[in-house]
Amino acid sequence: MDKIDKQILKRLQENARVTISVLSSEISLSMPAISERLKKLEASGVIKQYTAILNPELMDKNLTALVNLGFDNPSKADDFKNFVLNEADIKECFYITGDFDYCLKVVTHNTQTLENLLTRIKEQAGVAKTQTIVVLSSIVDRPSVVLE
């Protein structure tokens, strides 16, 4: 990946709907050259996907929480992974080191919907302990990695 690829990626991170024509004029490269670079970045997996990032508050999702959980038996974790994939309010799930096995980032409507989700989590086979941290405010929330 060279300097031009990084320029393209930075511009796409600002606005993924920018046209090839605009990219071409801003980067001073022909439209076919920009198009070819984009195809290569997509094919290589550098560009994972194009998406719209929704404002949770405008979607009536006003509560963010981090839920750490530990299992009494690691073999039960496979069923838990399927559970996580089917819970819309679980935004991210990390397998972690330390006192817990997983950390979930939850974005939900309110404390009642959080409580309902926590109940479903605790009902999952093998879940031995949980810890819930309610987020009061977010200092930074980057949807993608930062290019240097």
User: Whole-angstrom Cα distance, residue 67 to residue 85?
Assistant: 15
User: Whole-angstrom Cα distance, residue 127 to residue 46?
Assistant: 36
Pick the CATH number of 56-135 from 3.30.870.10, 3.30.70.920, 3.40.50.1010, 3.30.70.120: 3.30.70.920
pLDDT in tens, the chain (148 residues): 999 999 999 999 999 999 999 999 999 999 999 999 999 999 999 999 999 999 999 999 999 999 999 999 878 788 899 999 999 999 999 999 999 999 999 999 999 999 999 999 999 999 999 999 999 999 999 989 998 8
Q: Where are the domains of the chain?
A: 3-43, 56-135
Q: What predicted TM-score, i.e. pTM, was given to this entire model?
A: 0.87
User: Whole-angstrom Cα distance, residue 147 to residue 13?
Assistant: 10
Q: Which amino acid is at 50?
A: Y
| Upper half-sphere CA count for residue 113 (Cβ side, 13 Å) | 15
- Provide the pLDDT for residue 80: 92
Instruction: Output the CATH code of domain 3-43.
Output: 1.10.10.10
Own/partner contacts of 32-37, CB < 8 Å, gap of 24 or more, are 34/8, 37/4, 37/5, 37/8
- Token pair listed for 110: 């309110």
User: 87, 93 in Cβ contact below 8 A?
Assistant: no
Neighbours of 132 (CB within 10 A): 16
